[in-house]
C-alpha cells in the first residue's frame, strides 16, 4: 500500500462533481506501463490545481491521480532504457489527465515518457524546475532560435509570479536579457526584481481590450496568460519581434487582429510542453542544468507535504501562491 491524491467523481443534486483527497492505494490499481517508479518529489502546477479543484476539465477519466510532474527511483523496469535504481524525470504526456500521475508515492509509466535526471541536477532540484522551468526554457530557446538576442530590446514576461514566469525571468537574466515582468501582484515586485526583472508593470496595462497596433515596446514576449494580455503583447511587439505563448491563466481566447503579423512581421510561436519530442526535452534540460544554480531553486520554490496538496491547490487558483510548489513525498 502507498498514499496518493485520488480524484473521484460523485453525483451532487444530479450534477457530477469531482472530489480530491489523500488516500491509500495499491499497486494493483496502477495503470499499465513498463516502468514502476518510487516517487520522491512531485509538484503542484496550474493544471494540477484545475484538476484537483474541479475548476477545469483537465481529468479525462476517473478515478485519477493528478500530477503532471515527478522525479523518482526506478523500482522495476521491463524496458532496456532504464535499470532498477536509476533516477528518472517525467513531465507531461497526459500524465495526471488520462494516466495516473505523480502525486502518489508510486507510479507506473511508459518508458518513452521518461528521461534520466541530467548530470549534476539533484532530484529535489529537478522537481523544483518541473514542467514550469522546462516550459520556460522551451520558450527562451524559441526566442533564441528566432534570433532574438539580448541587444534586441526588452523581453516581456507575463504571469510573472507563476512558476513559468519566475523561471523565465531568472533564465533570461542569466543570459543577459533586459526583462520586464507583468504581474497582478505589485506587492511582489521585490521578489521579481530579485529574480532578475529590470522593471515590473501592473498586468492591468495589458489585460483589457486594446488597439490592434500599439507602440512598439518588446523585442520578445513569453506569455503565460493568453486572452487580451497575449493580444496586447502582440500589438506592442516591435517589428520582427517574437511572441511565445505557453499559458492561459486569463483565458483560452485570443481577441486579436492580424495587424501585428502582416504589418510588423511579428511571429507568434506556440510552446507545447506536454507532447514535446525527446530531443527537445533533452536540449531544454541540458540548458537548465547549465544555467541554474542551487540558490535559484530556493528562491523560486516552496516545499509542502502530500497531505497539504489539496488545500494548496485552492490557494494556487486563488492567486495566493508564487513560484513553484514542490511536493516532498517522503515528508510527513
**Beta pairing class for 218-223 and 199-202:** unpaired
In percent, the amount of the chain with pLDDT more than 70 equals: 100
**Mean pLDDT, the chain, as a whole number?**
95
Q: What average pLDDT does this structure show over 174-196?
A: 96
With a CB cutoff of 8 Å and minimum separation 6, the contacts of 149 are none
- The span from the CA of 5 to the CA of 176, in Å, is 41
Q: What average pLDDT does this structure show over 21-25?
A: 97
pLDDT-derived band at 319, boundaries 50, 70, 90: confident
pTM, two decimals, is 0.90
At 160 the pLDDT is 96
Q: What average pLDDT does this structure show over 14-20?
A: 87
CB 323 within 8 A of CB 300: yes
Q: Judging by beta carbons within 10 Å of its beta carbon (0-12, 13-18, 19+), is residue 250 exposed, middle or buried?
A: buried
For the chain, list the domains and their CATH numbers.
2-117+293-328 (3.90.180.10), 132-270 (3.40.50.720)
pLDDT above 70 for 332? no
| 48-91 pLDDT, tens digit each | 999 999 998 899 999 999 999 999 999 999 999 999 999 999 99
At 264 the pLDDT is 98
Secondary structure of residue 197 in the 3-state scheme = coil
**Beta pairing class for 35-43 and 324-328:** antiparallel
pLDDT-derived band at 141, boundaries 50, 70, 90: very high
pLDDT above 80 for 5? yes
In percent, the amount of the chain with pLDDT more than 90 equals: 90
pLDDT above 70 for 138? yes
Q: What average pLDDT does this structure show over 244-267?
A: 96
With a CB cutoff of 8 Å and minimum separation 6, the contacts of 310 are 5, 20, 21, 22, 52
Instruction: List b or e across 132-170, with b for residues whose CB sees 16 or more CB atoms inside 10 angstroms.
Output: bbbbbbbbbbbbeeeebeeebbbbbbbbbbbbbbbbbbb
Amino acid at each position: 500500500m502507498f498514499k496518493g491524491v485520488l480524484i473521484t467523481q460523485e453525483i451532487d443534486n444530479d450534477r457530477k462533481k469531482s472530489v480530491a483527497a489523500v488516500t491509500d492505494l495499491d499497486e494493483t490499481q496502477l495503470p499499465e506501463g513498463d516502468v514502476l517508479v518510487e516517487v520522491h518529489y512531485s509538484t503542484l502546477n496550474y493544471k494540477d490545481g484545475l484538476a484537483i479543484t474541479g475548476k477545469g476539465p483537465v481529468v479525462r477519466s476517473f478515478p485519477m491521480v493528478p500530477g503532471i510532474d515527478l522525479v523518482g527511483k526506478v523500482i522495476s523496469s521491463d524496458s532496456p532504457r532504464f535499470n532498477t535504481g536509476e533516477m528518472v524525470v517525467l513531465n507531461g504526456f497526459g500524465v495526471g489527465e488520462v494516466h495516473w500521475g505523480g502525486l502518489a508515492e508510486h507510479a507506473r509509466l511508459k518508458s518513452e515518457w521518461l528521461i534520466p535526471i541530467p548530470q549534476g541536477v539533484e532530484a529535489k532540484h529537478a522537481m523544483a524546475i518541473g514542467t514550469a522551468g522546462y516550459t520556460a526554457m522551451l520558450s527562451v530557446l524559441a526566442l533564441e532560435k528566432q534570433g532574438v538576442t539580448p541587444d534586441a530590446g526588452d523581453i516581456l514576461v507575463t504571469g510573472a509570479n507563476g512558476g513559468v514566469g519566475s523561471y523565465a525571468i531568472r533564465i533570461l537574466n542569466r543570459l543577459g536579457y533586459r526583462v520586464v515582468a507583468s504581474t497582478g501582484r505589485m506587492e511582489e515586485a521585490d521578489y521579481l526584481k530579485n529574480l532578475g526583472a529590470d522593471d515590473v508593470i501592473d498586468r492591468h496595462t495589458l489585460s483589457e481590450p486594446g488597439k490592434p497596433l500599439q507602440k512598439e515596446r518588446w523585442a520578445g514576449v513569453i506569455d503565460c496568460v493568453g486572452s487580451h494580455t497575449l493580444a496586447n503583447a502582440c500589438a506592442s511587439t516591435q517589428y520582427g519581434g517574437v511572441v511565445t505563448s505557453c499559458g492561459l491563466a486569463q483565458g483560452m481566447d485570443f481577441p486579436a487582429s492580424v495587424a501585428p503579423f502582416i504589418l510588423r512581421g511579428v511571429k507568434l510561436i506556440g510552446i507545447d510542453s506536454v507532447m514535446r519530442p525527446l530531443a527537445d526535452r533533452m536540449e531544454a534540460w541540458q540548458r537548465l542544468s547549465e544555467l541554474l544554480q542551487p540558490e535559484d531553486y530556493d528562491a523560486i520554490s516552496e516545499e509542502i507535504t502530500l497531505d497539504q496538496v489539496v488545500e494548496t491547490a485552492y490557494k494556487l487558483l486563488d492567486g495566493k501562491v508564487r513560484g513553484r510548489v514542490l511536493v516532498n513525498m517522503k515528508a510527513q
